[in-house]
Amino acid sequence: ELFEALTLMQTGKSNIVPIVLIEEPGGHYWQAWEHYIQNNLLARGLISAEDQNLYYRAPGVPEAVDHIQRFYRRYHSSRYVKDTLVIRMLTPIT
């Protein structure tokens, strides 16, 4: 389901939402998953480096909550106009 959600956002078929991968204390599951992504998909050119910005690997729940709150503090909405992705923001980007 994670790959499906990332692919739908990547291709513009789904709204942009924060995807947060929360690592359990002392865990390495998402770290290993991220190494797989980098060593197999990115290295082979199947994704671009920017695609890794579609998710956030949080070391714990407080960081996950902070990431989601920061996202929605500025983000309003997004849509495609022909081939151009238009992202509406609540405040200007500095």
Q: Which tens digits make up the pLDDT trace of 34-79?
A: 999 999 999 999 999 999 999 999 999 999 999 999 999 999 998 8
Q: How far apart are the first and last CA of the chain?
A: 34
Alpha-carbon distance 19 to 11, whole Å? 15
- Per-residue pLDDT averaged across 80-94, rounded? 88
Q: What is the pLDDT at residue 13?
A: 86
Phi, psi of 67 (to 5 degrees): -60, -45
- Average pLDDT of the segment spanning 23-28: 92
Instruction: Write the CB contacts of 4 (distance below 8 Å, at least 6 apart in sequence).
Output: none
